[in-house]
Structure 1
Amino acid sequence: MPNIEEQRRVYYDFELELEAYNLKGIVQKFPNHFHDYYVIGFVEGGRRHLWCRGKEYDVAAGDLLLFNPRDNHCCGPVNGENLDYRAVNIKPEIMEQAVGEITGKKYLPHFDRNVVYQSETAPSVNTLYQSIVDRAPRMEREENLFFLLEQVIGEYTTPIDEITVSEPNPQIQMLCEYMERHFYENITLDELLSMTSFGKSYLLRTFTKETGVSPYRYLQNVRLKQAKKLLEQGETPVDVSGMTGFSDQSHFTNFFKEFIGLTPKQYQRIFQQPAGSGSAAKEQ
């Protein structure tokens, strides 16, 4: 494979309140994880093997990727190929508001598939991404966002009257809520076990089946979410490391880059809005 210079570019649109990013020349594997926001992205180049919600996919240039909040997924390169990928991250509250304006009904949509091969929607993702990068007028960016969402909601989401919400296991839900509140503590498996009527093996199997990730991986994702919030608020990476339960800053930095693709400092710079800018900042 040719040696392509690695680029990691992330932009935050302060007016639309969404992230747009491009990973180019990347061979990094991304471990099993989830997000608390929607992801709409497409592959521009480089094949990847993707695991999502218990299914496997081989994706390539022109394929559209759709992740609901909490869809656990991971991916790795095929034959060491360099990834070129663009995507936008949309907060649930922003998605709900947009869906209300598009459909007349305020609800959180659910993507009914994670991969759409050779999708005609991919160019719309790129159009929105590019308008954010170029700091186009707000009206243009808003139009691009709504045109994209109209397409994906109309073609790739479950109709509102067919959306079913399964009842979570109450003991697993309790453990999740506990880790959400105590993420900065040194939580042990025995501690979680003491809160349930489960055996250790059954707890691990049930938790992983229910959430898509193991208890420790869930805790890591919670810590990552909190770390991102603190970095966005201007806390230093060294302080964030201690505030989110990591053993040291080196461990925090390595973990953050493994999941996000940027160092904590690089991620934080995205939110340091340039003077006079109403749209976006970037880090490479």
Structure 2
Amino acid sequence: MKEIREIFYDKQLNIEAYGFYGLKQKFPNHFHDHYVIGCIESGIRKVTCRGEEFLIEPGDLLFFNYRENHACEQVGDYPLNCRFINIKRERMREIAEEITGKSGYPEFVRPVIRQCPKAELLREVYRMVAEGKEEFEKEEHFYLLMEQLLSEYAVFEKRGVQVPDTEKLNDVCDYIKEHYSENVSLEQLCGIAGVSRYSLIRYFTKYKKITPYQYLESIRINQAKLYLEEGMEPAEAAAMTGFSDQSHFTNFFKRLFGLTPAQYQRIFIQKIDKTPL
């Protein structure tokens, strides 16, 4: 297998994402000036960290704290495939403060979490960064991932976080309804609610039983249905309702309704054709 190494920097999230595919290289004892969080896709490696040895396998989640010494080497004939995100120390402090309300640096308690269900969400964040996906959805997934990782695997003291009131959350809903066709950002919605990104995601979801981004896409898709029923071309309906491209629109539409936009539209075109003159 040919070795491939890739790295991406996301300005919006202020993180790095990098992947190793077909990796056989041995890494001596070293540390990084950032936090490292990764998931193992295939292959087995021996990792030495905190005076212990761990065999990491597919499905495992890996944590290295800021400047934490570690080393790793290949085990067996199968090279390593893995994906990681790097978070600088000050950026991690900002994230932890938004989520927990405490200004400090978290410490992940265990270097390895076996068969961690959070690995799938990490893969999704990595994919969005690598593909340059829409900022709102990507931010939401990232904060949901970090909330789970920090709450379950990190140590720090907690104190109260900002909580938006119902009126502010309704203002957010109204803004989304009025501006769904535009490039709505999480930052804009946080400004309306007067809270942090994490607080908005958490309390909006608790209040509406749906995340802010899912709410936005639901508004968009329902308006697009009306346009399709009126005979508008699917590509134009996608553009008019704020979808980044027609492929995203088609995939999302089919996932929700089981039909492509064109298939859905034909139902109404047939009805129109059968209407007597």
Deviations 1:28-86 (A, max 9, x none): 11111001111110100000000012110001000000110011001000023200010
Letter in 2 for 1:153: L
User: How many aligned positions are there?
Assistant: 158
SS of equivalent to 2:108: coil
SS of equivalent to 2:13: coil
In structure 2, the partner of 1:158 is 155
Letter in 1 for 2:8: Y
The one of 108, 119, 124 aligned to 2:121: 124
> TM (normalized to structure 2)?
0.56
Deviations 1:206-254 (A, max 9, x none): xxxxxxxxxxxxxxxxxxxxxxxxxxxxxxxxxxxxxxxxxxxxxxxxx
Displacement of 1:160: 2.2
Contact 1:24–1:85 (Cα < 8 Å) also in 2: yes
User: 2 CA distance for matches of 1:145 and 1:93?
Assistant: 17
- Alpha-carbon RMSD: 1.1
Larger C-alpha radius of gyration, 1 or 2? 2
In structure 2, the partner of 1:139 is 136
Displacement of 1:17: 1.5
User: 1 CA distance for matches of 2:106 and 2:94?
Assistant: 11
In structure 1, the partner of 2:73 is 76
The one of 34, 49, 52 aligned to 1:52: 49
Percent identity at matched positions? Answer: 42
In structure 2, the partner of 1:255 is none
> TM (normalized to structure 1)?
0.54
Larger helix fraction of residues: 2
User: 1 CA distance for matches of 2:45 and 2:62?
Assistant: 12
The one of 82, 104, 107 aligned to 1:107: 104
User: 1 CA distance for matches of 2:36 and 2:136?
Assistant: 22
SS of equivalent to 1:142: helix
Letter in 2 for 1:72: N
Contact 1:27–1:80 (Cα < 8 Å) also in 2: no
The one of 18, 21, 33 aligned to 2:18: 21
User: 2 CA distance for matches of 1:55 and 1:45?
Assistant: 22
SS of equivalent to 1:31: strand
Q: Does 1:31 align with 2:42?
A: no
SS of equivalent to 1:160: coil
Displacement of 1:26: 0.8
Deviations 1:123-166 (A, max 9, x none): 111011000011111112211211111011111012327xxxxx
User: 1 CA distance for matches of 2:92 and 2:140?
Assistant: 14
Deviations 1:90-140 (A, max 9, x none): 011111111111112221100000000100111111011000011111112
Superposed, 1:191-202 pairs within 5 Å as none
Runs of 4+ in 1 over 3 A off after TM superposition: none
User: 2 CA distance for matches of 1:60 and 1:102?
Assistant: 30
Letter in 2 for 1:98: I
In structure 2, the partner of 1:181 is none
Letter in 2 for 1:123: E
User: 1 CA distance for matches of 2:76 and 2:149?
Assistant: 31
User: 2 CA distance for matches of 1:10 and 1:60?
Assistant: 22
Task: Structure 1: state its 5+ residue gaps.
Answer: 162-284
Displacement of 1:15: 2.2
Letter in 2 for 1:46: G
Superposed, 1:188-227 pairs within 5 Å as none
User: 1 CA distance for matches of 2:88 and 2:124?
Assistant: 19
In structure 2, the partner of 1:63 is 60
In structure 1, the partner of 2:3 is 6
User: 1 CA distance for matches of 2:31 and 2:15?
Assistant: 17
Contact 1:109–1:160 (Cα < 8 Å) also in 2: no
Structure with bigger RCO (C-alpha 8 Å, 6+ apart)? 1
Letter in 2 for 1:64: L
User: 2 CA distance for matches of 1:13 and 1:98?
Assistant: 15
